[in-house]
Amino acid sequence: MKPQKQTRLSSLEQLVKGLLAGVALYFSAGCGPLYQTSLESEMVRRKNNIVAPEDFDLDGRITKANRLLMRFPTVEQINQGVGIDVVKSVNKYLIPGASKLMVHGRQEHFVENLSEEGKKEVMAVQKEVYISSDYFRKNRHVRLRRAHNEGITSEYWAGEIISLWRFIDGLYRDAANDLKTDIKKLERKLMVSPSAERDLIKILEEKRRKLGRMQQNEGESFLYGAILKLGAEGKLRILPAEKPRRKEADLSKEEALYAITDGHENTFLEIASKQRGYIVYVVFGGGHAWGGKTSCGADYDLSGRISREDNIANWNAKHPDKKFSLIEITFRSYNEDKALMKKLQACLKDKN
């Protein structure tokens, strides 16, 4: 009888050990790929505009990345903190077990042959990117120190652009200071030499016009990237968001389509996974989407996006020890041109 009892206990012991090992694996992997793939129906909007599984304990023990997600400033806190409305929405998508938090600032950026109206729109968004990013740098919960910028493929390239920016900015500043000095001298002369008033007024008005044009040009510097401007001012370290691109002529039809739709997103996830710290802040075109219905819930709106994949869901399933949660920031002046995006999506579908 004793041997039979020993066998039954051994079997029971093995079963318990197997279950415990499974539970340990489940939690150590951040709930694992199987949980990730079945997430869509469970992701719901919770408190503080956080989308998370409906059965996930937001008040319980969570990763540092997700703690940061929960503490990340709301729309009201950002706008109140800077004194003007710069942000339209801050949507938080919490993935259990995430070791990193990606914050996507949805930008509009300069492109060739941009109309004057388009330039004004881009400048408005970029100013909001600048003000918001500077606020994140100062905020006690975020303390932003690094930012990834669309179009930057290496830190060397970022450094070269920033050096050029500083040089041009220095020239503008010196010239503007000279003009301001000349204007003050002319204004003093007008006060003591009324007989020369006509000639002095002409010169003064011309110098004021030049200064006005220079100040306008300085304002237009936002057109070429708020994050680079912050880098030039020494406020943020600028990091790459992309890898060097192959020439379009060298790409197959499938490769070109992938590069447009999901290549940027998947490449950046690889870059971001190697970064230090819990937060990865990237400013990238608003038409791109790292999220999808699985990672961000059934209500996640893709109508203004060109992405075909749920990039974060796919990444998290393949890399359970390097999972991402996501925050998307939409700036006040960002134009969610869904009609234009639908045309682009239709064009991409025809190419597919």
- Confidence (pLDDT) at 177: 83
- Edge-to-edge strands of the sheet including 324-331? 43-45, 50-53, 87-93, 324-331, 100-107, 279-285, 146-149, 237-240
- Confidence (pLDDT) at 95: 96
Determine the Cα–Cα distance for residues 352 and 349; give it in Å rounded to an integer.
Answer: 5
* Per-residue model confidence as pLDDT tens digits over 136-151: 999 999 999 999 999 8
- pLDDT mean over 218-222: 63
Handedness of CA 332, 285, 101, 230 (dihedral sign): negative
The residue ranking higher by pLDDT, 131 or 251, is 131
Determine the Cα–Cα distance for residues 173 and 176; give it in Å rounded to an integer.
Answer: 5
- pLDDT mean over 17-43: 39
The residue ranking higher by pLDDT, 197 or 346, is 197
> Which residue ranges make up each domain of the chain?
35-151+241-351, 161-224
DSSP 8-state assignment for residue 333: T
pLDDT at 202 over 50: yes
Average pLDDT, the chain: 80
Position 273 confidence tier, pLDDT thresholds 50, 70, 90: very high
List the one residue out of 69, 115, 119 whose CA is nearest residue 95.
69
- pLDDT mean over 1-27: 39
Q: Scanning the structure block, which residue is given the tokens 């992309």?
A: 242
- pLDDT mean over 125-143: 96
List the one residue out of 279, 257, 288, 293 whose CA is nearest residue 326.
279
- Confidence (pLDDT) at 165: 72
pLDDT at 113 over 80: no
Position 1 confidence tier, pLDDT thresholds 50, 70, 90: very low
- pLDDT mean over 220-238: 85
Position 6 confidence tier, pLDDT thresholds 50, 70, 90: very low
Position 295 confidence tier, pLDDT thresholds 50, 70, 90: very high
DSSP 8-state assignment for residue 91: E
Cα–Cα–Cα angle for 94, 97, 99, rounded to 5 degrees: 90
- Confidence (pLDDT) at 218: 62
Determine the Cα–Cα distance for residues 139 and 181; give it in Å rounded to an integer.
Answer: 38
pTM above 0.85, yes or no: no
Of 43-52, 121-130, 212-221, the range with the lowest mean pLDDT is 212-221
DSSP 8-state assignment for residue 245: P
